[in-house]
Structure 1
């Protein structure tokens, strides 16, 4: 081997090897939020331990049992779908090339929004899984409007949810397609509104360690660990809030509100936010609220998978507080108006 051949081999090795890391003084490190979901959860747990005796005196045994039951039920419903969403999000981040989304979605953002909404039919999951998936889609270059449309549509119009609605309302089959129509309309409308009014700096995805330098297996597990810790903490906070509301709100209030057509719609919309029921189970809860009109119960089914306490908490963790404080209220108003319109026209 000649000296020239050795020189060529050395040059090829230099190109193949990664560049040396920049000096620490010049390396830009992502700024980490001083208080995250894990820190908040740790503080809450410490406070619960420290003040467990005063809390036990304030809360009766029956109410404490109800609180624990609701909290555990929300977590049992949500955690499997959260894990499913985190795993699918990691698959998208690691194994799906960016070029796939350029081919799968129309190039024009306004056309990509309804396509993303209709594609929500194929994801058999609830809102807990759609949040990390939407975040991963944005990371992979999907326009935020299309990703947010998918986030809202997937938990509301997938086959499992629609089948559960049909079972819960055997005497009112029109509730199935009314729910699908209203939910898809809200999702597409919010996607188009984001194109018109949304700003990129409202979305602040949490820093995820660079996965490009890892093997696919290690990158996959790193993405899973990151998302489950980040989103899981906010899920716990949302479940605790939902359990507290279930204990505090008297059931007698619901009967009083059901007698007024306008207040019944608003009451069930707010109740959907507070109860934070998984979209696969909310139809059975809506069916049990027989004192309310079909229109108000439709609003309950449209609002729940798009805006509830655990979902707002998870959106805050994945997209940032500036996003959640704007997107959740706007989605709530759109869901109430469109759900009411569809209910009045067709139910």
Structure 2
């Protein structure tokens, strides 16, 4: 082969490699899957109605649908407002708004959680952003714990779920704020900078509107999925678990608190919807259900996974167990006083 042929072949290959790749088809995502499921439910509504003729299945369906119907409006409204704050409020605002002294910044950051009407899914990345912007980690962690538990959306949902017990709203807000501030001060005292390892921040492209839509889409599908699982679990507990077993656990003050604390971790329900699940567990005392509401927004399976991804494994294995114990003790104490 001559040199001219080699150059010609090289040019041909270079031209082929420079050609744009064929566009990939649209990925089948969670929204498309939800649309398909809804269509299937409409098409097969008659066979499905026949399947749930059993009284136990009817009870399960009633509990499941009632939890979803009451919780979804709060979930959607909270996700939209959380996306507005995350996208349109400058990240540097929080660093300027907090006191410079770390010990004073912790309770200030805890109280700042009132202005974030969102669930715990959004508080974890925002807390990481605060640390990147120079906010002391103790204050950012206090904000992380308080924001999903004491914001107006969550407290309003709690009032709606417990219409005959307005003291539950006060007890939840007070207990959650105490735990958030206490954990912030504990981190200020015992925490180590090397325990937090933030991942590199990806470069942000696109308009704010696109970021807002993407944030809403992600949070609704993510938090909504956990809400469905939580509602299904609550309905299953009410139907499958014998009433005598639930009553036996509920009658033991210590065992009922521990059982609902563990249940809150396992169910991983969004804080804007967990009050309706707690209200459905009517066999248990108000104090044990308060512990469920305090533990859930601070320590659950999805939060542990998110904290590991944002702050690192060394942080999560220390912070989550300590928060779990603090939430149980404070929740039970506040419940004994106010409930």
Q: How does the TM-score come out when normalised to structure 1?
A: 0.66
User: Deviation digits for residues 184-214 of structure 1, max 9, x if unmatched?
Assistant: 0000001001101111111111222356xx8
* 1:197 and 2:190 aligned: yes
Is the CA contact 2:91–2:129 (under 8 Å) kept in the aligned structure 1? Answer: no
Q: Residue 319 of structure 1: which of 311, 315, 321 is its match? A: 311
For 1:230-309, list aligned pairs within 5 A: 251-252=241-242, 253-309=245-301
Quickly say closer, same or farther: Cα 1:317–1:88, change in 2 above 3 A. farther
Is the CA contact 1:89–1:136 (under 8 Å) kept in the aligned structure 2? Answer: no
Shift of 1:251: 2.5
Q: Residue 333 of structure 1: which of 325, 330, 333 is its match? A: 325
Quickly say closer, same or farther: Cα 1:80–1:168, change in 2 above 3 A. closer
Which residue of 2 is the match for residue 51 of structure 1? Answer: none
Give the superposed CA RMSD.
Answer: 3.8
* 1:344 and 2:321 aligned: no
User: Deviation digits for residues 30-67 of structure 1, max 9, x if unmatched?
Assistant: xxxxxxxxxxxxxxxxxxxxxxxxxxxxxxx99xxx9x
* 1:161 and 2:154 aligned: yes
Is the CA contact 1:81–1:129 (under 8 Å) kept in the aligned structure 2? Answer: no
Q: Provide the rounded CA distance (Å) in 2 between the counterparts of 1:109 and 1:340.
A: 28
Shift of 1:256: 3.0
* 1:120 and 2:152 aligned: no
Q: Provide the rounded CA distance (Å) in 2 between the counterparts of 1:135 and 1:209.
A: 13
Q: Mark the runs of 5 or more structure 1 residues left unpaired by the alignment.
A: 1-60
Q: Mark the runs of 5 or more structure 2 residues left unpaired by the alignment.
A: 1-50, 53-59
Q: Provide the rounded CA distance (Å) in 1 between the counterparts of 2:195 and 2:213.
A: 24
Q: Give the total of aligned pairs.
A: 279
Is the CA contact 1:82–1:128 (under 8 Å) kept in the aligned structure 2? Answer: no
Is the CA contact 2:196–2:312 (under 8 Å) kept in the aligned structure 1? Answer: yes
Q: How does the TM-score come out when normalised to structure 2?
A: 0.68
Quickly say closer, same or farther: Cα 1:240–1:87, change in 2 above 3 A. same
User: Deviation digits for residues 256-284 of structure 1, max 9, x if unmatched?
Assistant: 31121100000011111111111111111
Which residue of 2 is the match for residue 30 of structure 1? Answer: none
User: Deviation digits for residues 122-143 of structure 1, max 9, x if unmatched?
Assistant: 1111111111111111111111
Q: Residue 163 of structure 2: which of 160, 166, 170 is its match? A: 170
Q: Provide the rounded CA distance (Å) in 1 between the counterparts of 2:334 and 2:200.
A: 40
